[in-house]
Structure 1
Amino acid sequence: MKKKLLSALLALTMLLPSTFAVDLYVDGGALQTDVPPTILNGRTLVPLRAIFEALDADVTWDNATQTASAQKASTTVQVTIDNTTAYVNGRAQTLDVPAKLIGGRTMVPARFVSESLDARVLWDGNTESVYVITSDHESLVVEYLDVGQADSILLSSDGEYMLIDAGNNEDGDDIVSYLRDVGADELKYVVGTHPHADHIGGMDDVILALDVDNVLLPDTTTNTQTYTDVLDAIETKNVSVTVPIAGQAFQLGDATVSVVAAQQADNLNNTSIVLKATYENTSFLFMGDAETEVENAILSAGTNVKSNVLKVGHHGSSTSTSSAFLAAVSPNAAVISCGAGNSYGHPSATTLQKLTGVPVWRTDLNGTIIAMTDGQTCRLTAEKGTAALKPPATTPSTPSEPSTPSTSVDAGGQEDSVPSTVYITPSGKRYHYEASCAGKNATPTTLSNAKSLGLTPCQKCAS
């Protein structure tokens, strides 16, 4: 009899949908529930009341129809137990998995509910975690955009946004699209850490396409076309420009962004505006392309740079991230923005070795990286993969570090070993090493002529 009962229970178990528990975070904080979020047939179900209230929605329950309703501002969402038809403001939508009763609690699809109430949902399969970012989050969210061998970082808190750098020239449209997708149609601050093309290349597109209140630029200049385009965009939109100084602070929602360094230097990398964003008991440090000279000046000034997350300077180059500076920052995680297979060998093996034991996130390996904090703990997730805790087992051969580019060639450190003939288009901002990359209207010219016109190298065919 016992054997028959056991067999029956086993058969019943095999017929049930596959489920397993996951972790749920809203705006960087863990959402504690008496029944854990659950994966059911590939979809994440979360406790109804907990998720609705975390999204600041009012909840009602109709026991007769087994229907839950959530009201937030002008949006109403309705889901019914075991029914794949749900409603948003009265419009029917079909669910892959309906609301379910699990463990005595009503469980609803996390993505449908959250996105219906204007929140973003991120799934991290490596940690089996769901991250929800509300549109009006008071906490600080930091997004390190994958823009190849370049930098672009978006900070947001309480409906206010700051963009630090804007990638290369060809990244402008993609960055604008990303900002609009996440609701950053108005930027309180746009920061060009320093005037290299891989940091300000897409900034003119951002300024012209979106509402920008303030632009922060370092106390330096260059005569490149890329830099001129940024200044023209600022003038066209009549945007206020600030040249920040060390110690100055800017409020971004409930977060504070302080200027750690902003100095003049012959090396444009060392004119980088270094910023530290603080939210309650957590902080993020953004180094731009600042090198050890700047790091030493920061240490000599006695500035507190201890931070939870470090955006490693100069794409992980060996000219940045000295051991002394890294010890002062003492990060819980590090982020390196670099392009896959870049010709500079970034990040350098030396820098990775110094970071041994620190979780290292890289845009070339992880894609866009998103960090969230509830003021006590920082949590990071990415489009693909997870952080590495140690450098590669074998040290790859690393090309020599490129010399600092001159102020007349805004290549972000581009090496000079390039063809003497390049290709340009009548309205282009860049010169190309390959005619196929330039397009059908391309005409050949000499490299020196392209440079004299203030054009910058295309990063796609330059790598």
Structure 2
Amino acid sequence: MLLSGDIGLFISFLGIPFLTFSLVDLTKAKKNNKPMKAAATTLIISLIATSVGFAMIEPEENDVAEKETPAAIEKVEEKTEEIKTKPEKPKEPEKPKKEQFEKVRDLKVHYIDVGQGDSILVQLPNGETALIDGGPESSSQTVLNYLKEQNVEKIDYLVATHPHEDHIGGLPIVIQNFEIGNIYMPDKTHTTKTFENLMSAIQNKGIKFKTPIAGDMLLDKEGLNLTVLAPETNINDDNLNNYSIVLKLNYKDNSFLFTGDAETEAEQNMLNGNYDLKSDILKVGHHGSYSSTTNKFLEKVNPEYAIISCGAENKYGYPHQAIIDKLEAKGIQIYRTDKDGTIIIAVDNEEIKIDFKKTAKPKKENAPPKEEKQSSYKNSQPNQSVNSNGESNKNSSNSGNTSSNGAVSKPKPPATDGVEEVYITNTGSKYHRGNCRHLKKSKIPISLKKAKSQGFTPCKVCGPPQ
């Protein structure tokens, strides 16, 4: 079927030749003085036909445009409708606000003097209580009496960091004498009688213990939380220390890190996990042994204060001199239970206050199974009270004898027996000069007199004094 535009195009093409011929005829007639009427008539008809043809083409173009315009408008309308009907992207749900807690007291952390071992009482500001380890069995009565002195009635969070006797020996008597909320232990058993006693006490109490892993929250309130940073899952390590439960306590802008006996491998796992290790107060791992507190770990924690829990004159030389030097080099203030007795840190309105409670006689208790030789130590830092701005008020040195009210006497320098200092290793039977090649793996300073009295003999390579 022909459209009007096609007909108009046909008439136009048909009229153009007639128009051309009529112009030629008209020109010839005029030139030869012949009548021009016929030529003029043909010219007019051709002109009309051509004009009509072109006129018929134009309406067809307008019609096409008119037909296209509604289609374009319809597409726009369809897109607009799609936009209107397209579902809106759901908004991300807001994180639920943490539960508030009612403050009923100041936060207090007690590093109890249990001799060679660990026991930490935490009196939380919400009225709850945590006990991290119970020291050795020989100090179980000390721990029990101390908890009663602090009017503890219930222990909401009881944590046995790992199954070594100097950490869990005192827990059975605690479990027997107090109401217990939750018990936390690593997923690691032990074959000792001490561990059996602990499991029996838990069973008799009718409580099932929990095995937390890194990332768990024991307590999570607004401005108050207790987070597990170690151990990781699927640990394959013969060293029980690396199963230690490591906890970080945050209270407003203050933080405490409790490391148990976590050693180098466990510290590296925490670094690999990118946990927030920054803490104001660090309980130094493994009683100040050089097997813990690596440079990278200490740099990440970056504490202002370091607490070392160890027995006076213990046969393992805790804390090792290398750790003391490392802490002092970073300007970290050191407090030790073997020198200061029980160390009490209170947080009141962002202000950290440190106090001591010295026992009558220094305890010389048993130590963890890992045997190491004696080392000397440096004096710890002064007793002081520190506010949230970091300003401190040094009262006196905390390295000497301390009375029960926290007053500290001036320390005496470590005895050197008036003889030259030599060095020993963890496993060797010789003593050495400081530059001996046999000291690459370990280097523990000791007086010559003490080295000889403990059966060490002079190294034949470096020729130390005899």
TM-score range, shorter chain: 0.5 to 0.7
CA deviations over 1:237-289 (Å, ceiling 9, x no partner): 11231100111112288731100111433200000000001101110000100
Q: What are the within-5 Å matches in structure 2 for residues 50-199 of structure 1?
A: 137-157=104-124, 158-199=126-167
| Runs ≥4 residues deviating over 4 A | 384-387, 389-403
Secondary structure in 1 matching 2:180: strand
CA deviations over 1:112-151 (Å, ceiling 9, x no partner): xxxxxxxxxxxxxxxxxxxxxxxx8433210000000000
Give the CA deviation at 1:360: 0.3
2:363 is matched with which residue? none
The letter of the residue matching 1:339 is G
The letter of the residue matching 2:270 is I
CA distance in 2, matches of 1:371, 1:283: 11
The letter of the residue matching 1:363 is T
2:392 aligned with 1:388: no
CA deviations over 1:9-47 (Å, ceiling 9, x no partner): xxxxxxxxxxxxxxxxxxxxxxxxxxxxxxxxxxxxxxx
1:378 is matched with which residue? 352
Over the residues paired in the alignment, what is the CA RMSD in angstroms?
2.6
**Contact 2:231 2:266 (C-alpha < 8 Å) held by counterparts:** no
Q: What are the within-5 Å matches in structure 2 for residues 322-361 of structure 1?
A: 322-356=294-328, 357-361=331-335
CA distance in 1, matches of 2:217, 2:280: 19
Higher percent of residues as helix: 2
Q: Which moved more, 1:386-395 or 1:230-239?
A: 386-395
Secondary structure in 2 matching 1:241: coil
1:445 is matched with which residue? none
CA distance in 1, matches of 2:348, 2:423: 39
Secondary structure in 1 matching 2:105: coil
CA distance in 2, matches of 1:271, 1:289: 9
CA distance in 1, matches of 2:196, 2:295: 37
Give the CA deviation at 1:380: 1.2
2:282 aligned with 1:310: yes
Secondary structure in 1 matching 2:314: coil
Question: Larger radius of gyration, structure 1 or 2?
Answer: 2
CA distance in 2, matches of 1:227, 1:291: 21
Higher percent of residues as strand: 1
CA distance in 2, matches of 1:250, 1:400: 40
Q: Which moved more, 1:373-382 or 1:313-322?
A: 373-382
CA spacing shift, 1:161–1:397, aligned 2, 3 Å: farther
Larger relative contact order (CA 8 Å, sep ≥ 6): 1
CA distance in 2, matches of 1:384, 1:173: 16
Unmatched 5+ stretches in structure 2: 1-102, 360-378, 383-396, 400-412, 429-466
Unmatched 5+ stretches in structure 1: 1-135, 404-463
CA spacing shift, 1:226–1:400, aligned 2, 3 Å: farther
Secondary structure in 2 matching 1:179: helix
CA spacing shift, 1:401–1:184, aligned 2, 3 Å: farther
1:240 is matched with which residue? 208
Give the CA deviation at 1:364: 0.2
The letter of the residue matching 2:238 is D
CA distance in 1, matches of 2:427, 2:206: 36
1:261 is matched with which residue? 230
1:298 is matched with which residue? 270
TM-score, normalization by structure 2: 0.54
Secondary structure in 2 matching 1:355: helix
Give the CA deviation at 1:383: 2.2
Secondary structure in 1 matching 2:147: helix
CA distance in 1, matches of 2:344, 2:224: 17
**Contact 1:195 1:268 (C-alpha < 8 Å) held by counterparts:** yes
Q: Which moved more, 1:145-154 or 1:369-378?
A: 369-378
**Contact 1:272 1:290 (C-alpha < 8 Å) held by counterparts:** yes
Q: What are the within-5 Å matches in structure 2 for residues 366-445 of structure 1?
A: 366-374=340-348, 376-384=350-358, 387-388=380-381, 400-401=425-426
The structure 1 residue matched to 2:337, chosen from 346, 358, 363, is 363
**Contact 1:139 1:255 (C-alpha < 8 Å) held by counterparts:** no
CA deviations over 1:149-196 (Å, ceiling 9, x no partner): 000000012321100000001211221111111011210011000000
Secondary structure in 1 matching 2:181: strand
CA distance in 2, matches of 1:196, 1:402: 21
Give the CA deviation at 1:384: 4.8
Secondary structure in 1 matching 2:121: strand
CA spacing shift, 1:382–1:208, aligned 2, 3 Å: same
Q: Give the share of equivalent positions with the same residue, in percent.
A: 41
The letter of the residue matching 2:381 is A
